[in-house]
Each structure stands twice: as C-alpha cells, then as structure tokens.
Structure 1
Amino acid sequence: MGMSVTISAAAAEDAEQIFKLQYLAFQREAELYGNYLIQPLTQSLDSLKAELASDTVLVARLGDEVVGTVRGSIGEDGTASIAKLCVHPRLQGHGLGARLLRGVEEALAGHGAATRFRLHTGVKSESNLRLYRKAGYAQVGNRTASDGVHLVILEKEAAEATDFAVSA
C-alpha cells in the first residue's frame, strides 16, 4: 500500500528536515552552475528557523518525511516573494513542485495583501523555468546574485494564481 504526499504548513520542529532537504535538493543547481556557494547551500539552520517563524513555509510530507518545501512572504507593496522551492531528487518530475507552488500562492493570496507573485531562478535552470512559465509566470528582469549566479526574475498577478490552480 503506497502513501500519498500531503502538503501543509511547516512547524518549528520541521527545521532540521527542511535544512537537510534543501541542502540535498540544491546540489543539482550548484553543479549546474559550478558554484557550491549558492545561498540555499550556505544558509544557516538559525537563519532557516527565523524564516520558519516569520514567513509562510509549506512542506510536502511522505509519511513523516519532509520531501518538499517552499517559502513565501509579502512585502509592503503587495508583492509576494516565493523562494527556495525544492523537492527531494527521488520525487522530482511528478508534479510535487507545481503542487507546492500552487499551495504557497494560495496561502499568500489568502492573506489578502498579495497583488503579485515574484520569484527567481538561475538562467540555466530549464526545468524550473518550464514549471514557472507553465504556472503563468513571465520574465520581468534579470540580476546577478551575490554568489555570482545570473538569475531570471519572474512575476505574475495574484489574480492569475486561481487560473493556474484550476488548469493544473
């Protein structure tokens, strides 16, 4: 009998599992860019715990194991920033990233203050770019991160989140 993956709000006690998952899941990105100093790999556990306390953080669970996570926060201008979407390598390619993205969009939109969603990914991260474009995000800019990775910045209006939820 198989178990299904559930998505829920993260709890403080999930911090270490999220920390380990993030480190594992972002290895592929680090390899792609030849840069193991990317922020998800250098973030401290204390910094992650602070994000758990202040941001909207969702986890995907398979039984008791955290197999995916995503974070979001809303700025004063109504822009919701979505970050560190990751899925355990053994579960990638099965729609879990899309479910997490939808979940964080819905959670942030539920706060009522989000007018748009913004996220970023590396220019070479084709699978991430495909996911985000399929979810309705469009490129609005580029920037170079402090670790030297060239990023694509993508956005979509918050009202479009419900369109993605219906069609995905």
Structure 2
Amino acid sequence: MGMSVTISTANPDDAEKILKLQYLCYQSEAELYGDYTIEPLTQTFEALRAELAEGCVLVARLGDEVVGSVRGVVDADGTARIAKLIVHPRMQRHGLGGRLLHAVEERLTAESEAKRYRLYTGHRSDLNLRLYRKLGYEQVGDAEPINRRLSLVTMEKDAPPQTFAATA
C-alpha cells in the first residue's frame, strides 16, 4: 500500500529538513546560471527559522519525509509574495508543485486580504516558467538583471475576489 503526499503548515522542527531540501532543489538552478551563491543556497538556518515564525510556510510530506515546501507573506498593499517553491527531484513532474502553489494561494487568501499573487523565477528556468503560466501567472515588466548571468522574471496573477457570507 502506497503513501500519499499531504500538505500542511510547517512547524519549527521542519526547519532543518526544509533547508536541506532547499539546498538539494536549488542545485539545478545554480548549475543553470553558473552561480552557486544564489540566496536559497546561502540562506542560514536562523533566517529560515525567522521565515517560519513570520509568514506562511507549507510543507508536503510523504510519511515523515518533507518532499516539498513553499513560503508566502502578504504585504500591506495586498500583494501575496510567494517564494521558494521546492519539490524533491524524485517527486517532480507529478503535480506536487502545482498543489503546493495552490495551497499557499488559498491559505494566503483565507488569512489576509490578498489581492494578487507575485512570484519570481530565473529567466532561463523554463520548467518553472511553464508551470507558472499553466497556473495562470503572467510576466509583468521586464526581467530584472541580478548579475551578468541571471535575470529575475516577475510573474503575477489576481487573487480571486473575497466572498463573505451575509448575516441576518
């Protein structure tokens, strides 16, 4: 009997697992851009623990193993900034990234007044770009050069309108 992947809120004990998975997942991005100093590979344990305390961090679990994660926070202007969507390489291309992205969008909308979702990816990260477009994101503005090898593409989509139950 196989196990199914569950998505839930990360807890402080997940920090080390998330950081290790993040390091594994961003190796291909670092190789693609020839830059192993990208922030996901240099983030400290303390910085990740601070993100766990401040924003919405979800994990995907297969049994006890963390096989995916995503983070998000909503700005004062209603922009939900989604970051570090990661899926273990052996679990990729099975819909888990889309499930995580949808789950964080739902959570950020339910817990705040999110008006739009925004995320960033590298200009040559074709699989990421394809996934985000498939899920309704569109590029806004020009890619922002980070260094001579990497430019970040900003992608956004509108959050669904909030619906409120009428009370009598």
Q: Normalization by structure 1: what TM-score?
A: 0.92
What are the ranges of 5 or more consecutive residues in structure 1 without an aligned counterpart?
161-168
Which letter does structure 2 place at the counterpart of 1:152? Answer: V
Tell me which residue corresponds to 1:31.
Answer: 31
Query: 1:159: Cα distance to partner?
Result: 1.2
Q: Deviations over 1:68-112 (max 9, x none)?
A: 000000001000000000000010110000000000000000023
Q: Encode CA deviations 1:103-140: one digit per residue, 9 max, x unaligned.
A: 00000000231000000100000000011001100000
Asked if 1:50 is matched to 2:50, the reply is yes
Query: How far, CA to CA, are the matches of 1:146 and 1:72 in structure 2?
Result: 25
- Structure 2 residue aligned with 1:134: 134
- Is the Cα contact below 8 Å between 2:121 and 2:153 reproduced in 1? yes
Which structure has the bigger radius of gyration?
A: 2
Equivalent position amino acid for 2:133 in 1: R
Aligned residue for 2:73, secondary structure, equals strand
Give 1:80's aligned amino acid.
Answer: A
User: Structure 1 runs of 4+ off > 4 angstroms?
Assistant: none
- The aligned residue for residue 153 of structure 1 is 154
List gaps (5 residues or longer) in structure 2.
Answer: 162-168
The residue type paired with residue 158 of structure 1 is A
Instruction: Supply the distance in 1 between the matched residues of 2:21 and 2:122 (Cα, whole angstroms).
Output: 19
Q: Equivalences for 1:1-168 in 2 at 5 Å?
A: 1-141=1-141, 142-145=143-146, 149-159=150-160
Q: Mark the CA change 1:21 to 1:147 in structure 2 (over 3 Å): closer, same or farther.
A: farther
In the alignment, the residues of structure 2 paired with residue 67 and residue 32 of structure 1 have an alpha-carbon distance, to the nearest angstrom, of: 22
Aligned partner of residue 77 in structure 2, secondary structure: coil
Asked if the contact 2:70/2:100 (under 8 Å) is kept, the reply is yes
Question: Within 1, Cα distance between the matches of 2:109 and 2:96?
Answer: 20
Structure 1 SS opposite 2:3: coil
TM superposition shift of 1:148: 5.9
Q: CA deviation at 1:149?
A: 2.1
Q: TM-score of the superposition, structure 2-length normalised?
A: 0.92
Cα distance per residue 1:31-56 (max 9 Å; x no partner): 11111011100000000000000010
* Number of residue pairs matched by the alignment: 160
Structure number with the higher helix fraction is: 1
C-alpha separation in 1, matches of 2:111 and 2:64: 28
Cα separation, partners in 2 of 1:79 and 1:146, compared to 1, 3 Å? farther
CA contact 1:38–1:147 (8 Å) conserved in 2: no
Distance of 1:115 and 1:108 partners within structure 2: 10
Amino acid across the alignment from 1:149: L
**Residues 37 and 147 in structure 1, CA contact (< 8 A), matched pair in contact too:** no
